[in-house]
Structure 1
Amino acid sequence: MLRILLHLMAGLLLLSGPGAFAQRIVERNYQHYFAEYGLQGSFLVLEAGTGQYTAYNLARCRQGFLPASTFKIPNTLLGLETGAVTDTVEIFRWDGKKRSFPQWNEDMTFARALRVSCVPCYQEVARRIGAARYQQWLPKLRFGQMRVTPATVDSFWLVGSSRITQFEQIDFLQRLQRGQLPIAKRNQELTKALLVLGRGPDWMLRGKTGWAMRQQYDNGWFVGWVEQAGKTYFFALNVEPADGQPATAKFVQGRRALTEQILRQEFGLLGSPGKK
């Protein structure tokens, strides 16, 4: 009897702990926001204080995609933690090769490399970290399912079999926001400072976009969180062009624009009243 009671008590503790919030999901239809930018995809928000998720296209929120440049968040943490990068002002020298994103064609600090999402800079960071250290560190970070080998060390987040879901993105961001990753507090704080995208009198937006570009296929991310009036909301957007055609400016701009529209109009964030 005592054993049965202990099992029941353990079950109640599990239901009342942080994981209990995982099943609190409300589904909403945000299709008209996506249609405005010619996009299709899914959107997930977690209100940290209540543990309630709001999802559009819930099944897709549970589907894994290449992380693309959202991996620059853990890559920044690991670059600093392993000493592959000395600090956020370290200069990355342009190799002289002209690329289609002109903002990459210059010398820049590590901080700017994150802000302009400089793939060549972060590929250099990845080579410095090396496959062995990734294999050691990535399971500790629990950032989706990353597959890295010596041959793919500077591309595994852009191509291949690495995957992360929107739920996993938000789980990782929660631990970063709370300073609960197995990374030095200083390096977590430095990384969080680099993610600031906007602020107002009582709110702050942090986030990172991503764009996986493969043959005739584009997949985009915008992930992050909003701190407003003592509350924190985490979000993860994943999108593709609705017509299946190559990405246009609407795709590039729409990732962040439609996310901010939903956060403002549906949740009253970013300084605007909402519908809730």
Structure 2
Amino acid sequence: MISDFTMGFLLADAVIAVLIVIILFLKKALKAHISKRIQYNIWFLLLLALAVPFLPVRQEGFLHAVNLAGVLKEALPAKGNAEVGAGKDISGAAGTGWMQDFSVSVKGERIPFFSMVLFVLWLGGMAVTAGVTLSSGRKMRQLARSALPVQDQEINALFEECKKELGLGRKVKIYSSAYVRSPVAFGLFRPSILLPIRVIREFERKDIRYILLHELMHYRYWDIPVNYWVCLTRILYWFHPFVWYALKEMRTDREIACDAAVLAVLRQEDYTDYGNTLIQFAEKLSVASFSAASAMGGTKKQLKKRIISIAGFRPEGGWLKLKSGLVLLAAVLIVLLFLPGLMANAKGGEAPIPVAYETREDLGTYFGDYKGSFVLYDRKRQAYTIYNEKGSAKRVSPDSTYKIYSALFALENKVITPDSSHLDWDKTQYSFAAWNRDQDLDSAMENSVNWYFKTLDAKSGLASLEKDFHKIGYGNEDLSGGISNYWMESSLKISPLEQVRLLNSFCQNDFHFDEKNVEAVKKSLWLSGSGTNALYGKTGTGAVDGKNVNGWFIGFIETGDNTYTFALNINKEDSCKGSTAAKIALTILTSMGIDVPR
């Protein structure tokens, strides 16, 4: 998990750097066509994008088509858990041949040293940055405690007038302090404005009005809560120079937008006076370092930009507002296009539960010591029956059950055909005698021959497989574990519920594949038949470090007038076999009154 997160986060960081460059270019190129407020608001899109790598969401819709992270991941070495062991013959189960278990053990995931070092460094950097941020906040609280309410009644009356002018009904208090050199707005739950004593003593009434209007604008536009959000972002991305630069630019744009908002309520003849008031703080170069506070002062470079903006201020017209809206829309679309690259860690651990279903907790008696889940779909009744809701929605490795779709995709991609599916054995010796010979689709499916399906996948190609898995919406659609191992206790995950939905769609060919190809795969899945009834299915066993930890049996039963689609999954520290899952499933199906051909 740590290795996945570290790699995904690094890839997301690269995407973030590109996104920031594009946003900066967009703002600079279209500066004359964007209002000051929209120039600032565009940065909120970046803040949202920076949160995406930490959200438990999955990639959906058209965004998947531009999945930059998926391409980059495949170019990197495969993860440790994709290394194949010598294999373990776990046949010997009683019953017909299809209940034989053919599983190859993989090595349990080991966190690479490089990933662990990066992860620890990231945590350490966050701790240091968080400490500095908390220290700044503590200093701000100490200043607030030492500040005194403004006693000058004229200033208090002016403050109330400014609040009324801006339509602020919230209770904002005003204090004075000898320890600050620039006006500061602070306080998330107890909003306050802190004025330097020298401002009250030395500044004229009109200058104080400008100051109060500016600081109150921060509350009007909820800048203080946003500052907390910015602080968290700075902690998470303490190592990212592009993010730090973007946040600095965002602060400057915030003050410029605040200046523009103040100028919009002033008379045109007051613009110069407002700029001169700002210059007085430039002389002191006083800027609050308090992480969640907003100060009127700033660096020379920031104040220079603000003065230039004030000098060129013009009231916003309808045409500027329209252009600003269009630019903001363009920025939204750009960020949406980059979302897949930011979702490198968003796999989606659970599938949605259907709206209507019947729970059968009494079926738990059939599982014995195994943890597991069972899902059945009755096509005639269009009804689901579920045992273990949580387990039925949990995504786990599909293991050999994926071979149903590997075969279907190979047929669709013309790697094999229904009439010509033969592949020559390359003489590599395997632990299972049934694998050590030439294969066709029927024999390979019956004996779950790994090398056959790996060859099909290799000939189809990763790009084609990703497109195909996305087309049918297969689980988390994650093939980053490598083209030879993604299905084997690696990156690809699917829930029992999704298995049933997909298999039902496969049977009805809802995805509009070639009917001959669908029939060829169905033929390879045939297990037994009696009269008008036929049983089709595929087992799967997941083995890690020589222990069988995951067992599957999925399939469908066709009767004269109905089709029942099912999936059963069991998991345990050891002894989970596809053959065991098959026995449990067939017992459950029989207990439900379904005629299971033997």
TM-score by length of 1: 0.82
In 1, the alpha carbon distance for the partners of 2:597 and 2:526 equals: 16
Looking at structure 2, the residues matched to 88 and 165 of structure 1 have their Cα atoms a distance apart, in angstroms, of 33
C-alpha separation between the residues in 2 aligned to 1:115 and 1:104?
11
The alignment yields a C-alpha RMSD, in angstroms, of 2.2
Equivalent runs, 1:39-54 vs 2, <5 Å = 39-54=370-385
Instruction: Name the residue aligned to 1:6.
Output: none
SS in 2 for 1:30: helix
User: Quick check: 1:210 aligned with 2:545?
Assistant: no
Given candidates 350, 353, 367, the residue that maps to 1:34 is 367
1:103, 1:258 → 2: CA distance?
A: 25
Structure 2 Cα separation of the partners of residues 133 and 95 of structure 1:
25
1:195-274 matches, within 5 Å, as 195-215=525-545, 216-241=547-572, 244-247=573-576, 251-270=577-596
**1:271 deviation in Å?**
5.5
CA displacement 1:223-264 (0-9 Å, x = unmatched):
1111123111110000124xx2345xxx34312112111111
1:12 equivalent in structure 2:
none
Does the aligned pair in 1 maintain the 2:556–2:566 contact within 8 Å? yes
The structural deviation recorded for 1:90 is: 2.7
Q: Which moved more, 1:90-99 or 1:134-143?
A: 90-99
**How big is the shift at 1:44?**
1.0
For residues 416 and 389 of structure 2, the distance between their equivalents in structure 1, rounded to whole angstroms, comes to 38
Give CA-to-partner distance per residue, 1:172-196, whole Å, 9 cap, x none.
1111111222321111111112111
Deviations 1:69-102 (A, max 9, x none): 1111111110000011233543222222222222
Distance 1:190 1:87 in 2: 6
Give the whole-Å Cα distance in 2 for the aligned partners of 1:260 and 1:197.
12
Q: Secondary structure at 2:362's aligned position in 1? A: coil
Match for residue 396 of structure 2? 65
Task: Give 1:166 deviation, angstroms.
Answer: 1.0
Counterpart for residue 101 of structure 1? 432
- The separation in 1 between residues aligned to 2:405 and 2:498, in whole angstroms, is 13
Give aligned pairs, total: 246
Question: Could you say which residue in structure 1 is the equivalent of 2:504?
Answer: 174
Q: Establish whether residue 127 from structure 1 lines up as the match of residue 455 from structure 2.
A: no
Aligned equivalents of 1:48, 1:22: Cα separation in 2: 15
Say which structure, 1 or 2, has more relative contact order (CA 8 Å, 6+ apart): 1
Q: In 1, are the aligned partners of 2:534 and 2:557 still within 8 Å (CA)?
A: yes
Structure 2 distance, partners of 1:245, 1:212, is 10
Match of residue 95 from structure 2: none
What residue number does 2:131 align with?
none
The corresponding residue for 1:192 is 522
Change (3 A) 1:93 1:20: closer
Maintained 8 Å contact 2:380/2:562: yes
Query: For residues 462 and 508 of structure 2, what CA distance do their matches in structure 1 show?
Result: 28
2:469 matches 1:143: no
1:75·1:126 contact (CA, 8 Å) conserved in 2? yes
- Secondary structure of the corresponding residue to residue 230 of structure 1: coil
2:162 matched residue in structure 1: none
- How far residue 39 of structure 1 moved from its aligned partner, in angstroms, is 3.0
CA distance in 1, matches of 2:540, 2:597: 25
Contact 1:141 1:182 in 2 (8 A): no
Distance (whole Å) between structure 2 residues aligned to residue 211 and residue 89 of structure 1: 28
- How far apart are 1:169 and its partner, in Å? 0.6
Give the Cα–Cα distance (whole angstroms) in 2 for the partners of residues 147 and 75 of structure 1: 14
CA contact (8 A) 1:24 1:51 kept: no
SS at match of 1:226: strand
Q: Does the CA contact (< 8 Å) of 1:48 and 1:231 recur in 2?
A: yes
Runs of at least 4 residues off by over 6 Å: none
- Whether the aligned pair in 1 keeps the contact of 2:539 and 2:578 (CA below 8 Å) is no
Contact 1:219 1:238 in 2 (8 A): yes
Deviation at 1:119, TM superposition (A): 0.6
How far is the alpha carbon of 1:31 from its aligned partner? 2.5
5+ residue gaps, structure 2: 1-351
Which structure: greater strand fraction? 1
Contact 2:539–2:579 (8 Å) recurs in 1: no
Is 1:183 the counterpart of 2:513 in the alignment?
yes
Residue 199 of structure 1, CA deviation: 0.8
Q: Measure, in 2, the Cα distance between the counterparts of 1:238 and 1:44.
A: 9
Separation (CA, whole Å) in 2 of partners of 1:136 and 1:252 = 28
**In the alignment, what sits opposite 2:445?**
114
Instruction: Work out the CA distance in 2 between the residues paired with 1:140 and 1:90.
Output: 24
AA aligned to 1:30 is: L
Q: Tell me the distance in 2 between the aligned counterparts of 1:245 and 1:69.
A: 17
After superposition, the Cα gap between the structure-2 partners of 1:160 and 1:21, relative to the gap in structure 1 and judged at 3 Å, is: closer
Cα distance in 1, alignment partners of residues 354 and 381 from structure 2: 8
Which has the larger helix fraction? Answer: 2
User: Residues 529 and 597 of structure 2 are in contact (CA less than 8 Å); yes or no, is this contact kept in structure 1?
Assistant: no
Q: Is the 8 A contact 2:553 2:578 kept in 1?
A: no
